[in-house]
Structure 1
Amino acid sequence: MFQAAKQASRTRLNGKDDESMHVESSSSSYRLSLYDKPPLFDVTVEEFETSALDRLRILAEIESSAARNRSWDETKQVTITQCGKYLPLNSNSASGIDLQAERRKDQVGHFALRLAFCRSEELRRRFVKAETTLFKIRYETDDSSERRAFLDSKDFHWISVSTEEKNEYKQQLSHFVSAKSEAEFTNEPFYKVKWTTIIDLVEKRRVFLKSGFAYVPAKEQASIIYAAFEERLEAALLATSRAIPLVDEDTRLNPILDNLAQGFTAGVPSDWVGSSETTGEGITADMVDSLAKQHFPLCMRMLHQSLKKDHHMKHFGRLHYGLFLKVLGLSIDEAIAFWRKSFAGGPGADKFDKEYRYNIRHSFGLEGRRMNYPAKNCLQLHSAHEAGCPYRQLENSPENLQSALLSSYSAQGLTLNDLPEIMSQVKKKAYHVACTRVFEITHARYVKKGEGLGDGESVTHPNQYAARSIELEKEVKMETD
């Protein structure tokens, strides 16, 4: 694992590919993988980070599904949809697809996240749970012949129960199969494993126990495989945690790994850089108040309300809110007009031009370093000490948070009855899940519970929330016109 990590940190400057860069292990032979062999090829830092982030999008959505009590079918569908976007992985029977590239990305992303999530018992537990769920979904949706070939290629430490042994325990084993005749029972495979490896089946009384072994019918075979995947991954993570101090020497990997480790808390943010792509048109200063009441997430809505009340805003509030509005579609001229109007009764014209106009132009890349700064995502707002995520900052003041939610969204359908569900997510520190649930409640005419922004995706960026809200409203208007 360490060798793969060190190789993953090497940057290839020539940009060329070669035969050694393909996945060279049995892991690439099938869509399913136990990740028992680390990839031993050169990986650029960019590929390392991109592969990890795209995989983390899937795992974060899986954990979000658990937090939102989605059914297995709902979780499965959401995961399949997200995998189609960020982590496609086709069977060998697929044609016209670069299977090696897909499996290379799958392998790199998995092992990169091992480095990020091996550092504490809590992170390891969450990683194993999410990865096991992803494996289960892939197992259930895999091509049957390829799945059988994969199983035959691995040793799952099960013992095939002989006909003689089956007949010896026929009375007990017959309870676990639907055989209607002697021949059907004889042809029904059973596997014998240590009972401690399949606790879930033991708890549900779906196996026969004898002398420390569980007799598992073929229809329950998947449980043995899932347990083996989970057990091996737990052991691998512990081994990785012992080697991680060596990786800490690499200053290029550490910031990436630290950022990845926070992904379960805020999800993996999308990059929102162009307003015209999200809203379809620019907005004016006079439109902001109306948009705030209808389409803004709580973080930006509270900043807007504070600005209207005080006609002033501290530096980080102006920074976060200003960048949000810029990406939403507020041009530089409209931004200056908006802030000048918002500060009415505050600083005079000369003071405004001296103290605020420059900063507004700076955020648009027109002054100073001339960088076109992006808006802050949820992960960045979670770590902000000022003007950050209200779900996080008001976590220890539940009354204030509930009051803010009701005052902000009661006109859009949020009621007292909705608060316990939202607050339960806040207590779990699943802040982006709480925000997503608010979106679902306030957009109930467009999306159903569990659908998130419409396709199961959770909120990971304030502009993502606002842009999707505006988009849904436009879609309804187009349908009714």
Structure 2
Amino acid sequence: MNRIDAKRRNVVDHRKKQFAEATYKEATYPHRLNFYSTPPTADITLEQFEQWAIDRLRVLAELEACSFRNRTPAETASHMKPLLDRYLPLDSNSVGNEKFLFAQRQKDHYSHFILRLAFSGTEDLRRRFARVETMLFRLRFQSDDARERGGFVRTLNLDWEPVGDEEKRELAPQLAAATVGINFGGKGKGSGALQQQVLEEEWCKVDWERVPDLIEHRKVLVRRGKAYVPAREQQSMVLSEYAARLDKAMELTARALPRLDEDDRLTPILNHLSKNFIAPDSSYSGSGTAVEGAEISARNIDTLSQHYPACMTHLHRSLRRDAHLKHFGRLQYTLFLKGIGLNLEECLVFWRSAFKNFSDDKFNKDYRYNIRHVYGDVGGDSNRRGGGYSPYSCQKILTEHAPGPGEAHGCPYRHFNMENLASLLQSMGVNERGVLQGVAEDKEKQKFHMACNRVFEHVHKNELRKARDEGVMTAAQLETIVHPNEYFKRSYLLKNMGKQKPGSGGDGDVKMEG
């Protein structure tokens, strides 16, 4: 019987006891790649917690967009490089700055686990998160230094049986035959040269069930239930192992989620992040005119409306048709106009002329104050200090205040039926059957922001081609559009490339909302 009262038992603190072993050890990152097997335990601030997760979400959302657009692996790698360098950089050990590398890898480590928490709530979110995380790992694995990649794989202690030199010599003809024209470019080479390359290559053997894709493409030798895999084809096995472990970890995380409900600091952040997988949330922080040199005035709004996305096009046309918009329509459109650079005085002129069927007294009594409040000219102290409200992002438009009868706000890709949506898009110049079919498929899959980007790329295809050929597209212009104001800005810059090149308005006008 233990005579020590459990309540009075000393708790061993590894920081005070010489021989005590720490329960939690500070993470070290000897490799650029990570299987995320061990959760992080060091302290970080709430600001870091949220911003690191948002940056990773931006990367994952763009990777998913590449998949929806059927980009090739080479196109995806080229497209993602500037975005990874911007939001989630990971340098190789050759950089040599240990403190710098640690900071990069710590952010990568934490951001993965934060999003793992955010996306473990439902099976759909778990499946999507695991899929894009595996895509990100594949991208990094392929671009990693060969020596560092090999060192990382050896630390995984995967149950691969190495093929010895004697066995390689014995099977050299069969191994060479199994990989001719695939791994070694067998054209024009004699069997002796191929066999010599077989001997120089590192091989391992695994149960054939573990590499069905390699067998399907005839990239390995299968003998006595074992598949002989050369080093350069081992990526498939590493990715399969990564995906399998992540799937299992996500299920375990889902079981632990109820315990987080007690923490009122983290739960709102995680809920916000999970909602943002519909379309990454962003806030427009442009000050003054959104596009340098553009005339943003009440009298010019009709001309500028040619650069509007579908949601704002519908609002503008409804306003011109009815000389009125209901509350949420006015709010959504006023914030958009504010975001493109329309100042308060011009905005009041615009709305007064648009509401032509109302008297001055009626307009001043029912509408003027609300417009000033949106701009932060009147209202509470916090509203005035913050300069009013921010323009709505795609995510906010998609998820808040669905339109009812007689209302024109919302997202047409989500809230219109396909017949009405097609009619709106055709009035915007989208007449190609293939594009409309693609929009219908995006709508069915609930990829509404992808449908909007599909329309943007079609309407601006000539300008985008010219911009890419001339090398004037910046990293900001390469990202998937997730904000109506960014749609307007890019459209205006592309259509006026002769006067001003894309990117001259400065990067960073659209930033993730924190």
When normalised by structure 2's length, the TM-score is: 0.82
Is the contact made by 2:493 and 2:500 (CA closer than 8 Å) also made in structure 1?
Answer: no
C-alpha separation between the residues in 1 aligned to 2:214 and 2:81?
26
In structure 2, the gaps of 5 or more residues are 1-21, 185-190, 404-408, 502-514
Residues 118-127 or 434-443, more deviating: 118-127
Q: How does 1:133-282 map to 2 (within 5 A)?
A: 133-166=135-168, 169-170=171-172, 172-177=174-179, 178=184, 180-181=192-193, 182-266=195-279, 268-276=280-288, 278-280=290-292
C-alpha separation between the residues in 2 aligned to 1:449 and 1:381?
32
* Equivalent of residue 421 in structure 1, options 438, 454, 458: 438
Using the TM superposition, give the Cα deviation of residue 143 of structure 1 relative to its aligned residue in structure 2, in angstroms.
Answer: 2.2
2:495 paired residue number: 473
In structure 1, the gaps of 5 or more residues are 1-19
Residues 273, 58 of structure 1: alpha-carbon distance in 2 compared, 3 angstrom cutoff: same
Residues 459, 141 of structure 1: alpha-carbon distance in 2 compared, 3 angstrom cutoff: same
* Equivalent of residue 123 in structure 2, options 117, 121, 124: 121
1:111 paired residue number: 113
2:104 paired residue number: 102
Is the contact made by 1:208 and 1:214 (CA closer than 8 Å) also made in structure 2?
Answer: yes
1:441 paired residue number: 458
1:319 and 2:339 are equivalent in the alignment: no
Deviations 1:272-306 (A, max 9, x none): 122436312561111111111x2111001100000
Q: Aligned with 1:251: secondary structure? A: coil
Is the contact made by 2:40 and 2:109 (CA closer than 8 Å) also made in structure 1?
Answer: yes
What percentage of residue pairs aligned between the two structures are identical? Answer: 41
1:390 and 2:402 are equivalent in the alignment: no
* Equivalent of residue 425 in structure 2, options 400, 405, 412: 405
Deviations 1:155-176 (A, max 9, x none): 1221102344445555543323
Using the TM superposition, give the Cα deviation of residue 446 of structure 1 relative to its aligned residue in structure 2, in angstroms.
Answer: 1.7
C-alpha separation between the residues in 2 aligned to 1:328 and 1:81?
26
Is the contact made by 1:195 and 1:214 (CA closer than 8 Å) also made in structure 2?
Answer: yes
Residues 39, 188 of structure 1: alpha-carbon distance in 2 compared, 3 angstrom cutoff: same
Residues 456, 414 of structure 1: alpha-carbon distance in 2 compared, 3 angstrom cutoff: farther
Residues 450, 71 of structure 1: alpha-carbon distance in 2 compared, 3 angstrom cutoff: farther
C-alpha separation between the residues in 1 aligned to 2:500 and 2:118?
45
Deviations 1:320-373 (A, max 9, x none): 11001011111111111100001002x211111011000000001112225110
Using the TM superposition, give the Cα deviation of residue 262 of structure 1 relative to its aligned residue in structure 2, in angstroms.
Answer: 2.7
Residues 158, 240 of structure 1: alpha-carbon distance in 2 compared, 3 angstrom cutoff: same
Deviations 1:432-456 (A, max 9, x none): 1111111111111221499899743
Using the TM superposition, give the Cα deviation of residue 211 of structure 1 relative to its aligned residue in structure 2, in angstroms.
Answer: 4.5
C-alpha separation between the residues in 2 aligned to 1:190 and 1:77?
30
Is the contact made by 1:209 and 1:215 (CA closer than 8 Å) also made in structure 2?
Answer: yes
2:86 paired residue number: 85
Deviations 1:23-72 (A, max 9, x none): 9334x111111111111111222211111110011111111111111111
C-alpha separation between the residues in 2 aligned to 1:197 and 1:448?
43
Is the contact made by 1:23 and 1:39 (CA closer than 8 Å) also made in structure 2?
Answer: no
Amino acid at match of 1:100: F
C-alpha separation between the residues in 1 aligned to 2:456 and 2:289?
21
1:364 paired residue number: 375
1:354 and 2:356 are equivalent in the alignment: no
Aligned length: 450
C-alpha separation between the residues in 1 aligned to 2:233 and 2:335?
53
Amino acid at match of 2:203: F
C-alpha separation between the residues in 2 aligned to 1:423 and 1:309?
27
Residues 120, 368 of structure 1: alpha-carbon distance in 2 compared, 3 angstrom cutoff: same
C-alpha separation between the residues in 1 aligned to 2:196 and 2:432?
61
Q: Aligned with 2:378: secondary structure? A: coil
* Equivalent of residue 391 in structure 2, options 369, 375, 378: 375
Pairwise CA RMSD: 2.4
Amino acid at match of 1:24: E
Using the TM superposition, give the Cα deviation of residue 263 of structure 1 relative to its aligned residue in structure 2, in angstroms.
Answer: 2.8
Residues 374, 455 of structure 1: alpha-carbon distance in 2 compared, 3 angstrom cutoff: closer
1:343 and 2:360 are equivalent in the alignment: no
Residues 245, 448 of structure 1: alpha-carbon distance in 2 compared, 3 angstrom cutoff: farther
C-alpha separation between the residues in 2 aligned to 1:467 and 1:460?
12
C-alpha separation between the residues in 2 aligned to 1:116 and 1:449?
40
Is the contact made by 1:450 and 1:456 (CA closer than 8 Å) also made in structure 2?
Answer: no
C-alpha separation between the residues in 2 aligned to 1:417 and 1:183?
51
1:288 and 2:301 are equivalent in the alignment: yes
Residues 274, 228 of structure 1: alpha-carbon distance in 2 compared, 3 angstrom cutoff: same
C-alpha separation between the residues in 2 aligned to 1:450 and 1:70?
19
Is the contact made by 1:440 and 1:448 (CA closer than 8 Å) also made in structure 2?
Answer: no
Q: Aligned with 1:477: secondary structure? A: coil
C-alpha separation between the residues in 2 aligned to 1:224 and 1:248?
37
Deviations 1:392-411 (A, max 9, x none): 112xx11111111111x21x
Is the contact made by 2:477 and 2:490 (CA closer than 8 Å) also made in structure 1?
Answer: no
Using the TM superposition, give the Cα deviation of residue 391 of structure 1 relative to its aligned residue in structure 2, in angstroms.
Answer: 0.5
